[in-house]
Structure 1
Amino acid sequence: MNATTAPTSTSTAATAEKDSTTTSFSSLHTDIIEAHILPRLDGATLATTSCSSTTLRHLSSQDHLWTQTCHSTWPSTRSSRVCQVISTYPDGGPRSFFAHAFPLLEEGRSSSKHSSSAPPPSELISAVDIHYQDKIIFSKVQETETVTGWFRCSPFRIDLLEPKDVIPTPIKQPDGDDTCTVIFKDMTLSWILIDPIRRLAVNLSSHKPVTVQRHWLTGEVQVRFASILAVSRGHVQCGIVVTCCVSEEGEMMQMREISLDIEDMDGMHKNGKECLGILHRAMDGKRGKGRNRVEEGHRRYKEYLEMKKERRERKVRTEGTLDILCVAFGVSCFVAFLCFIFFR
C-alpha cells in the first residue's frame, strides 16, 4: 500500500506545484502588473506581452506606457515638437509611432495605395539619438524644410552639427584598426525621420555600425550606419556617417560630424526632390520584425555592396566591349579610306 500510494502523493504535490507556478502571474493584481512590471519592459517585449492574453493586451495598450517606452528608447522624443506629433499619431498614438520607428523596413517596395497619390512631405523632422554602451551621448531634434528650390535641386544632405561644433564622448582613443572596430561596435544610433503632416515615421539607421574605418594619417574614425531601400531602378543607400576625431587632450574621441545622405548604386548622391519621393514611399512601406534588425541590416548592406560590385564589373565589361567596337570601327573606316585612295 505504501509503495502504491507514495507515487500518487508525489504526483499530486508536483501537480499542485505546477498549478501554483502556472497561476502565479495571473493571480497578481492588475495594478502591480501595470505599475511595476510592464514599465520595466522594452518596446519589443512589451509588444510581445500584449499578445499573451486579453488582460495583458488591455494593460499594454495604455498610451502613457508607450509614451514612456518611446522616451526611454529615444530621448529625443521628449522634445515638445516630437511629442506633439506622437500625441496625434493615428491608430494608437505612441504605440503606433513605436511600431513605425523601431523595426526595419521590409525589403519589398512600397505597395501603399497612398504612396502615389499623397503629396511629398513639406517638412521633415529628424529625431536622432546616439548611445555608447547603453548610455546616451548625443540627442537632437532638427527640422528641415523641403519646399524651397535650393533644397529640391541640391544633393540631399542633413547635417546635425555645425562645422566648428564638437561633441565630447566617453570613447577612448583606439590603438589600432582592430581595436577601433571593437570599440565602436558598442555605439548604437537611431535616426527617425518624421513627416509631421501625415504623421508617418521611419528609422533610417541600421542600429549598429555596418562599417568602421580609421584614416591612417589623421586618426579620424568614420562610423557608418546605413539602411538599404528598394526603388524603381534597383536600390539606394541611406547612409548615416558619424565622424570622430581625437580631442585636444589626445585621450578621448569627440564627434565632429553627424550627417545623412542618400546615394544610388553608382555612388551618385540624389537631390532633394528625388529623395522626398524615396522617403515618402519608405514611410508608407511595411515594417519587418524588430528583434533581428541588426543582423538583417548587416545582411542587406553586404548584399548591397555585392550588387554594387557586380554592377561596376558589368559596366566595365560593357565599356570595354564598346571600346573594342569603336576601335574596330575606326580601323575599318581607315582601311576603307586607304582603299578608296589607292584603288580609285
Structure 2
Amino acid sequence: MVTTIEDLHADVLARALRRLDGRSLAAASCATAGLRALAADPETWRALCLAEWPSLAGQPRLFAAIPPRRLFADTYPFPSADCGDLGGGDLPGELVSTVDVYCRGAPLLSRVVETPASSSWFLGSPFRVEAVERKKPAPEAVPSPAELELSWVVVDPVRGRAVNVSSRRAVAMDRHWYTGETLVRFAVVLGGCKFEATVTCSEGSQLVNEVSAVSLAVEDADGAAVSGEGTLRLLAAAMKGPRRGGEREPEEAKRMYEEFVKRKKGRKERKARREALVDLCCSAASAVVVLTFLAAVALR
C-alpha cells in the first residue's frame, strides 16, 4: 500500500503549510488539487504575512482592504524598475506605510504610518515620511548597524494594492558629516527615481548604537526631491506594474542604486562644466565690452 502526503489529516497538512515561506507555499499549491485548496486558505497566507511583517499585527483594516495572498504577491517580490505609464488616472488619496526593521534576522522595531495624500500641500511638497522620529522616546539598541535589514511596504487601502520600496538589505552605509551618526541606506529605483529609506543610528550613553530615526524620501536623477504628486504617480504605476523574482534581488537593487548614483554624479559634473563654460563666455564678453569702451574713450 502506497502512502501519500494527502493521506495525512487536513489539519496536520494545514499546520505544515503554515511553516513554509511564500515561494514554497506557492510551489506546494501546484502539486495536487488538495494541497491547492489548503494553500488557498486566507488564514495560512495571513499567518505568513504576519511572520514576514510584524507591523501588520493589529491592523485588521489592511487585511480587509487587501487579501493576505494578494498582499504577499504584491509585496514580497521586488517591483520592476520600469514603472510603465505615469500619466493620468486617479491617484491614491491615502498611503499606509508598514515599516519593519530587523537585526540579525530578528524583528527590532515595527511601525505603521498613515499619510493623507490628497491635500494640495502634500501634492506640492517634497515627499518624505518619518516612521521613527528623533523626538520619540525609547530608541532601540542595535548591536551592529551593518546587520540591519528593512522592509518598507506602502499600501493603497482604497485600491487594495501594495509595493515594497526597500531593498531589504543595505545598499550603502556612511556617517553624517556633522553629527557623526551612522546612516544605513536602503533603496530601490523606480521610474528613473530613487526611493531611499534611511535608518539613522546614533551612539547612546553606553556607546551602543541606537535607532533614532527611520525615514523615506524620493529624489530624481538630478538629485532633486520629488513632490508628493510625482511620488504618488510612481507608486501607483509600481503597484500595477510587474514584479521581479529571484534570489539575487537585494544584489540587483544595490547594483541599480550604484548605477543611479553614478549617473547622478555624471549629470552633476556635466552641469558644472556647462555652467563653467557659460561663466567663461560671460566673462569674455564682459572683457570685450570693457576693452571696446576703453578703446573708444582713448581714441576720442
TM-score (norm 1): 0.78
Which residue in the other structure is 2:62 paired with?
Answer: 85
Aligned residues: 300
Which residue in the other structure is 2:73 paired with?
Answer: 99
Gaps of 5+ in 2: none
Which residue in the other structure is 2:115 paired with?
Answer: 144
Which residue in the other structure is 1:176 paired with?
Answer: none
Gaps of 5+ in 1: 1-19, 173-182
Pick which of 322-331 and 23-32 moved more.
23-32
Choose the corresponding residue for 1:60, options 28, 31, 39.
39
Which residue in the other structure is 1:69 paired with?
Answer: 48
- Change beyond 3 A, Cα 1:50–1:341: farther
Secondary structure of the corresponding residue to residue 305 of structure 1:
helix
Pair member with larger Rg: 1
Which residue in the other structure is 1:246 paired with?
Answer: 203
Q: Do the aligned partners of 1:156 and 1:261 also contact (CA within 8 Å) in 2?
A: yes
State how far apart, in whole Å, the 2-side matches of 1:301 and 1:28 are: 49
- Change beyond 3 A, Cα 1:27–1:257: closer
Choose the corresponding residue for 1:187, options 136, 142, 148.
148
Pairing 1:255–2:211 present: yes
Which residue in the other structure is 1:160 paired with?
Answer: 131
Matches within 5 A, 1:6-17: none
- Change beyond 3 A, Cα 1:290–1:133: same
Secondary structure of the corresponding residue to residue 129 of structure 1:
strand
Counterpart of 1:62 in structure 2: which amino acid? D
The Cα of 1:68 is off from its aligned counterpart by: 0.8
Query: Identity percentage over the alignment?
Result: 34
State how far apart, in whole Å, the 2-side matches of 1:334 and 1:220 are: 52
Which residue in the other structure is 2:164 paired with?
Answer: 203
Which residue in the other structure is 1:34 paired with?
Answer: 13
Pairing 1:287–2:243 present: yes
The Cα of 1:342 is off from its aligned counterpart by: 5.3
- Change beyond 3 A, Cα 1:104–1:98: same
Choose the corresponding residue for 1:169, options 104, 116, 140.
140
State how far apart, in whole Å, the 1-side matches of 2:231 and 2:32 are: 42
TM-score (norm 2): 0.88
Choose the corresponding residue for 1:44, options 23, 26, 33.
23
Pairing 1:264–2:220 present: yes
The Cα of 1:244 is off from its aligned counterpart by: 1.4
Q: Do the aligned partners of 1:194 and 1:200 also contact (CA within 8 Å) in 2?
A: yes
The Cα of 1:26 is off from its aligned counterpart by: 4.5
Which residue in the other structure is 1:301 paired with?
Answer: 257
> What are the superposed Cα offsets for residues 48-96 of structure 1, whole Å, 9 maximum, x if unpaired?
333444443333222111111101100111223xx3333343xxx2111
The Cα of 1:309 is off from its aligned counterpart by: 1.5
The Cα of 1:311 is off from its aligned counterpart by: 0.8
Q: Over aligned residue pairs, what C-alpha RMSD do you find? A: 2.6
- Change beyond 3 A, Cα 1:100–1:187: same
Counterpart of 1:300 in structure 2: which amino acid? M
State how far apart, in whole Å, the 1-side matches of 2:273 and 2:207 are: 48
Which residue in the other structure is 1:228 paired with?
Answer: 189
The Cα of 1:138 is off from its aligned counterpart by: 0.6
Pick which of 62-71 and 329-338 moved more.
329-338
> What are the superposed Cα offsets for residues 164-203 of structure 1, whole Å, 9 maximum, x if unpaired?
214443423xxxxxxxxxx333211111111111111111
Which residue in the other structure is 1:333 paired with?
Answer: 289
